Structure 1
């Protein structure tokens, strides 16, 4: 389990996203987000989700992203970028701090001692079985 609290995780994600999307032109437009929603619903993706997880793909969050994008279109470009980054940072922070199907092992802080085990060497004088 992570030792980072939610506010710290959001701040870390915001810093990363600020670098990843340095200008307002770098954030995705509403049509790109709408395309992501539509592609989530196509048959191939739904079948893949059924195969992998035993249920249809959940696309509601992509629709919410599109509605959010449409709601911020009247903001100044830099303000729109900051609002979009804040929302994505919160999403990533929730994802990082919540349980996931990928949470199988704890991350090691240091390597295992004596791993891999030593391989026994062949003794040239040892008897061989014919």
Structure 2
């Protein structure tokens, strides 16, 4: 799985570098702190209890803020690279682990004779074929 994980991380890094081409495109620490605080508000917690039966888990949002704060002394491009690596690893783990979306098998080729051919059924307004 390690080889698959590294491949997935490299794919995610390539994608994230295109989506976030400059250091200004990655979220700032205040944005991440705001995300953490908004996770803890009463409305979101009540919604989570109603939908899922438990309170929202806000620890990962706090960890993202702490990670951002640990990068404060780096050059902006180094900060961007560190953020991209961390985010790529997160997405790679998410892609490779089981999830509730794993109910369908991915097809490698289309189904044969699908969609099925419909027989011609003339309606009352079409001219009759003879």
TM-score normalised by structure 2 residue count:
0.81
**1:7 alignment partner in structure 2:** 6
Deviation at 1:59, TM superposition (A): 1.1
Which whole-Å CA distance do the structure 2 matches of 1:47 and 1:103 have between them?
A: 28
**1:44 alignment partner in structure 2:** 43
Residues 60 and 110 (structure 1 numbering): CA distance in 2 closer, same or farther, change over 3 Å? same
Deviations, residues 22-80 of structure 1 (Å, cap 9, x unaligned)? 11111110000011111222233223322332222211010000000001011111111
Residues 108 and 29 (structure 1 numbering): CA distance in 2 closer, same or farther, change over 3 Å? same
Spell out structure 1 runs of 4+ moving beyond 4 A. 116-124
| Structure 1 spans left out of the alignment, 5+ residues | 125-130
Residue-pair matches, total: 122
| Structure 2 spans left out of the alignment, 5+ residues | 124-130
1:34 aligns with 2:33: yes
Which whole-Å CA distance do the structure 2 matches of 1:42 and 1:90 have between them?
A: 28
Q: Give 3-state SS (helix, strand or coil) of 1:105's partner.
A: coil
Deviation at 1:7, TM superposition (A): 0.3
